[in-house]
C-alpha cells in the first residue's frame, strides 16, 4: 500500500519540478482519499494521518507534514453529517480539490504582494534555491525593474548555482557568493529575501542551513530581512532554539533511516527566530512575525 503511495508521490514530483513538494504530497493524499476503501470517517482520518507520516518518511521537509495536516483539517472542517459514507467522501474530495486550487494560486499572490518592495536599482541577497523567491523576482523583472542579485552557493548541495542559472535565463545580473562571504557582501545589498520550508508558531522560520546566519548579519547591518512563504507552510511547532527543532526535520529522510549516530551528521535546516525577521509575505497578506500566531490560530482552531 505504501509503495503505491510513494510511487505516486515521486511521479508527481517528477512531472512538475516547479511544484512545491508539499503540493505534490497534497495531490497524493487526495488521490489516496479517492482510492481509500475505509468504512468509517475515523478510519479515513487515521489512514490519512498514516499516509502523511509515510510521505514524511520519503521527503522529510517541514512543508510536507504541515501541508498534510492542513489538508486534513481543511477537508474535515465541513459538516459531515450525511448518512452515507460515500456522500461524505464526495464532500471531502470536493473540499480537497478546492484546497489544491487555492494553494496553486498562492505563489502568484505572494509574488504580487512582494514585488512592490523591490525598488528600481535594488541589490538583493538571497539564499539557496527557492521557487517562491524565483517567482517574486520574475514578477519584478516583468515589471521592468532593474535589480541585481547575490546568491549564496548553499552547500552541501550547491542549490544556489541552480538559482543563479534560473536567474540568468531571466536576464538578471547575478553573482554567486560563498556561504562564508555573507557578512562581506551585506554592506553592498539593500535587502534580503529568502524562502521558507516552514513557518512556526512564534513567527520564526525553518529554512536551509545558513539562513539564521544571514538573518543575524542583516540585523547587525540593519538591512530588512524578508521571508516569502505560502500559507500551507504554517506548522504547529514552537522551537525555542536550534536544539529544539525535532530531529525528523533536521536531516534528510534517507539519512534518518540509514545512519545510527546522528551527532556526526550535518543538519540541513536551521531555525531563524522572529526577532530577526522584518516581514513575512504570504498569500494571507503581508504579516509581521507576531501576526503569524494570529493567523495560525485562525487556521487551526
Partner 1 sequence: MADSGVTDGPNKKDEIERVKSEGKDLTKEEKQRLRKEKKQQKKNKEKKDDKASQESEKEKKSATSAAPASQPPTQLPAQKAPSAVPAPAPVPVPASEAPAPADKPAKSKAELKAERRARQEAERASKQGKKGEVGQQAPQGKSKAPPSELQPVVKRLPEHIQVDNPDVLKKLAKKLERQQTPGYNAATKIPLRSDYGYKVSLFSHLHQYSRKAPLTQQLSIPSTVIHPAIVQLGLQYSQGIVAGSNARSVALLHAFKQVIRDYTTPPNEELSRDLVNKLKPYISFLNQCRPLSASMGNAIKYIKKEISNIPSQCKEEEAKSKLLNCIDCYINEKIVLAAKAIAKYSIEKISDGDVILVYGCSSLVNHILCEAFEKSRKFRVIVVDSRPRLEGREALRRLVQRGISCTYVLISAVSYILPEVSKVFLGAHALLANGYVMSRVGTSQIALVAKAFNVPVLVCCETYKFCDRVQTDSFVSNELDDPDDLIVTRKGKTQLEDWHQVDSLGLLNLVYDVTPPDFVDLVITDLGMIPCTSVPVVLRVKNVDQ
Q: Which residues bind partner 1 (CB under 8 A)?
A: 201-203, 238, 240-241, 243-244, 274, 290, 293-294, 297, 301
| Nearest distance from C-beta of residue 180 to partner 1, angstroms | 23
d(CA 170, CA 147): 11
CB 235, min distance to partner 1, A? 13
Least distance (Å) between residue 275 CB and partner 1: 8
143/244 with CB nearer partner 1: 244
Decide whether 184 or 300 has the Cβ nearer to partner 1. 300
Task: Identify which of residues 152 and 202 has a Cβ nearer to partner 1 in the complex.
Answer: 202
Least separation in angstroms between residue 117's CB and partner 1 is 23
Other CB atoms within a 10 A radius of the CB of residue 262 amount to 12
User: Taking the complex as a whole, how short is the minimal distance between the CB of residue 78 and partner 1, in angstroms?
Assistant: 21
Q: Among residues 97 and 244, whose Cβ is nearest to partner 1?
A: 244
Q: Is the peptide bond before 47 cis (omega within 30 degrees of 0)?
A: no
Edge-first strand listing for the sheet containing 205-208: 198-199, 205-208, 269-272
In this structure, the dihedral spanned by the alpha carbons of residues 25, 28, 34 and 35, taken in order and rounded to 10 degrees, is -130
Give the Å distances, CA to CA, from 45 to 50, 172, 199: 9, 47, 24
Q: Phi then psi for 270, rounded to 5 degrees?
A: -140, 170
Look up cell 504530497; give the residue.
Answer: 25
CA-based nearest residue to 233, from 127, 103, 114, 138: 103
Min dist. Cβ of residue 259 to partner 1 (A): 21
Q: Which is nearer to partner 1, 160 or 274 (CB)?
A: 274
Closer to partner 1 at the Cβ: 175 or 290? 290
Q: How many CB atoms lie within 10 A of CB 23?
A: 23
Instruction: Please give the radius of gyration of the chain, using alpha carbons only, rounded to the nearest integer.
Output: 20
Amino acid at each position: 500500500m505504501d509503495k503505491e503511495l510513494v510511487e505516486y508521490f515521486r511521479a508527481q514530483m517528477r512531472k512538475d519540478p516547479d511544484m512545491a513538494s508539499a503540493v505534490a504530497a497534497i495531490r497524493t493524499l487526495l488521490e489516496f482519499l479517492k482510492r481509500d476503501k475505509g468504512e468509517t470517517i475515523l478510519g479515513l482520518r487515521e489512514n490519512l494521518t498514516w499516509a502523511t507520516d509515510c510521505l514524511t518518511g520519503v521527503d522529510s521537509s517541514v512543508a510536507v507534514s504541515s501541508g498534510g495536516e492542513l489538508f486534513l483539517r481543511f477537508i474535515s472542517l465541513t459538516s459531515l453529517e450525511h448518512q452515507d459514507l460515500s456522500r461524505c467522501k464526495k464532500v471531502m474530495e470536493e473540499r480537497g480539490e478546492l484546497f489544491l486550487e487555492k494553494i496553486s494560486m498562492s505563489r502568484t499572490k505572494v509574488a504580487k504582494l512582494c514585488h512592490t518592495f523591490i525598488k528600481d536599482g535594488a541589490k538583493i541577497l538571497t539564499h539557496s534555491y527557492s521557487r517562491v523567491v524565483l517567482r517574486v523576482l520574475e514578477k519584478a523583472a516583468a515589471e521592468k525593474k532593474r535589480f541585481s542579485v547575490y546568491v549564496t552557493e548553499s552547500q552541501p548541495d550547491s542549490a544556489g548555482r541552480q538559482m543563479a542559472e534560473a536567474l540568468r535565463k531571466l536576464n538578471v545580473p547575478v553573482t554567486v557568493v560563498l556561504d562564508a562571504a555573507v557578512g562581506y557582501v551585506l554592506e553592498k545589498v539593500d535587502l534580503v529575501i529568502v524562502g521558507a520550508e516552514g513557518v512556526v508558531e512564534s513567527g520564526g522560520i525553518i529554512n536551509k542551513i545558513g539562513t539564521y546566519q544571514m538573518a543575524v548579519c542583516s540585523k547587525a547591518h540593519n538591512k530588512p530581512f524578508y521571508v516569502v512563504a505560502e500559507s500551507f507552510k504554517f506548522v504547529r511547532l514552537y522551537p525555542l532554539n536550534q536544539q529544539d527543532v525535532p530531529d525528523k526535520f533536521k536531516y534528510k529522510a534517507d539519512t534518518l533511516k540509514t545512519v545510527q549516530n546522528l551527532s556526526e551528521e550535518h543538519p540541513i535546516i536551521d531555525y531563524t527566530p522572529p526577532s530577526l525577521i522584518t516581514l513575512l509575505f504570504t498569500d494571507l497578506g503581508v504579516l509581521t512575525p507576531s501576526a503569524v500566531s494570529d493567523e495560525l490560530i485562525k487556521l487551526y482552531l
